[in-house]
Structure 1
Amino acid sequence: MPDSISVEVVCATAERQLLRKVTLPVGSRVIEAVKQSGILQAMPEVAFDPSRLGVFSRRVSPDDTLRDGDRVEIYRPLTLDPKDARRRRVR
């Protein structure tokens, strides 16, 4: 059984997106992947909130355990309500 896992950590803004691959020990948590990726330092404009994390589009806790091949996603707050955005596009 391998003693390490490989995961991706991604974050996107309107201007750019960043993906980092990290190798972690088996049993590592979501927050550890975010910290080791260095994305928060590379994208200081992102207002990080530990409650806005996901794995493959599913919300997770920062303390959830990762599996090999997971993609950790750092979500940003919505700047516009989706319904309002659709209404504006229709007009």
Structure 2
Amino acid sequence: MMVVEVAFALPTEQKIIALQVDEECTAYEAVIKSGIVEVYPQIDPENDPMGIFGKSIRDPKTTVLKNGQRVEIYRPLIADPKEARAKRAAKMKAQKEAEEKAARD
């Protein structure tokens, strides 16, 4: 037997469940066994992306865990990271231009 954790986070809260599993337990099996889906019914273990300590895993059903690892269930992104970065850059550019204009006037 070994101890692993299953984690899920929302913008306002997070839940980490520690559980004992067999040596050959997969990430998917740990998620099911943890019961986290009962706490957060929006989790879809069949389709939601998962990772171990922030590193994405391709197939949770075949990824065997090691003692002490934490399986993370990821939520879908609300905003495209490239779009968000472009918006921040445009905002910073506009702010800088306004400051330069104010300094000239």
TM-superposed deviation, 1:89: 4.3
Identity rate, percent? 35
Indicate the structure with greater strand content.
1
Contact kept, 8 Å, 2:3 with 2:19, in 1: the verdict is yes
Change (3 A) 1:46 1:13: farther
Residue 15 (structure 1) aligns with: 12
Provide the C-alpha distance between the structure 2 equivalents of 1:70 and 1:25, rounded to a whole number of angstroms.
13
| Structure 1, unpaired ranges of 5+ | none
Q: From the CA coordinates, give the structure whose radius of gyration is larger.
A: 2
Q: Is the Cα contact below 8 Å between 2:2 and 2:20 reproduced in 1? A: yes
Query: How large is the Cα RMSD of the aligned pairs?
Result: 1.8
Specify which of 33, 37, 56 is matched with residue 40 of structure 1: 37
* CA distance, structure 2, for counterparts of residue 45 and residue 51 of structure 1: 10
Of 9, 22, 27 in structure 2, the residue corresponding to residue 25 of structure 1 is 22
TM-score normalized by structure 2? 0.73
Secondary structure, aligned partner of 1:40:
helix
- 2:74: which partner in 1? 75
Q: Which runs of 5+ in 2 are unaligned?
A: 92-105
Query: Which residue of structure 1 lines up, in the alignment, with residue 97 of structure 2?
Result: none
> 2:96 is matched with which residue?
none
